[in-house]
Structure 1
Amino acid sequence: MRLRRLGPDDWVTWRDIRLTALGSEPEAFGSTLALEGGYDEARWRELLSAERGVKVVAEDPEPVGLVAGVPHDVHSDVLYLYSMWVKPGFRRRGVGEALVRDVLAWAREHGWARVQLRVFEGNETARRLYERLGFAGEGEIMDRPSAPVS
């Protein structure tokens, strides 16, 4: 498995894995397949622009997982981790952990003070992963410093 950070020229890769994720588990996302399936090339490229943070895919050799880190809407020092998803056949193999670690590394490289995420209550598998990686919080919001946690 390899991780790859995407840019605007990788829009087809991001579109395809994102739409697969939305179609597979729509309840896990704050968007819909119907909405994003209607995006044109320009919109997908814009989502992958440097100003929109980082988008990472795990490939084996085809994309098997994705995650994004975007600037928080309110807090200028917070990177928001979202769209974490791994194909069912690749879960519990370290793919999710590798994806999150790559976003954390990117956050440190780019000077973000904190990384925050939302995990739906009841998603204990995801919560355990995030806690193992240093995230903490009650309810749906969890955060951590972007610096390495020992």
Structure 2
Amino acid sequence: MRDSPDAFTASLETEEAHLVEKWQERIQQGVVVFCASAGCDVGFAWVVRRGDAVTLGLWVSPEHRCRGIGAALLDAAIQWARGVGARRVSLNVADGNDAAMRLYQRMGFQRTGAIAALPPPREHLSKHQFALDL
């Protein structure tokens, strides 16, 4: 989050302030995390299942982008969602994260039209929802 704050819909300060509570909540919701590692932080995808829908988050370190890691993590998350019987995968993308938007569209995601402002201190940005029907 420190390297690419606009890739996230939450701020680093918000995440750090509620780190333990957020991960406890995610664990209770049945979060699945897919990681990529090469001796350092390369990337991760996390998914939360809610009924027949899955919410997804994805991050790849700046120095490892454009190498297919995001697509591989995204594909693993989609395959997991299919395996548990999910009917839809959704995610949010912050304004200006055009590379992520292109990746998601290439993988079959479409804009839903839902747009919301990010919380302070990033209220000047919006998040756009994308979804993939399985």
Instruction: Give runs of aligned pairs for residues 52-67 of structure 1, distance below 5 A.
Output: 52-67=30-45
Q: TM-score, normalised by structure 1?
A: 0.68
| Deviation at residue 30 of structure 1 after TM alignment | 2.3
Cα distance in 1 for residues equivalent to 2:23 and 2:97: 31
Cα–Cα, structure 1 residues 37 and 121, in superposed 2: closer, same or farther, change >3 Å?
A: closer
* Count of residues in Structure 1 that have an aligned counterpart in Structure 2: 120
Cα distance in 2 for residues equivalent to 1:37 and 1:50: 19
Give the one of 86, 91, 98 matched to 1:124.
98
| Deviation at residue 46 of structure 1 after TM alignment | 2.0
Q: Which of the two has greater strand per residue?
A: 2
Aligned-partner residue type, residue 49 of structure 2: P
| Deviation at residue 116 of structure 1 after TM alignment | 1.0
Question: Considering only aligned residues, what root-mean-square deviation do their CA atoms show, in Å?
Answer: 2.3
Contact 1:52 1:70 in 2 (8 A): yes
Q: TM-score, normalised by structure 2?
A: 0.75
Aligned to 1:145: 133
| Deviation at residue 44 of structure 1 after TM alignment | 6.4
Cα distance in 1 for residues equivalent to 2:83 and 2:68: 22
Give the one of 14, 17, 36 matched to 2:15.
36
| Deviation at residue 121 of structure 1 after TM alignment | 3.9
Which 5+ residue runs of structure 1 have no aligned equivalent?
Answer: 1-21
Cα distance in 2 for residues equivalent to 1:32 and 1:137: 23
Q: 1:81 aligned to 2:69?
A: no
Aligned-partner residue type, residue 141 of structure 1: Q
Give the one of 23, 35, 54 matched to 2:2.
23
Q: Which of the two has greater helix per residue?
A: 1
| Deviation at residue 91 of structure 1 after TM alignment | 0.6
Contact 2:93 2:101 in 1 (8 A): yes
Cα–Cα, structure 1 residues 57 and 101, in superposed 2: closer, same or farther, change >3 Å?
A: same
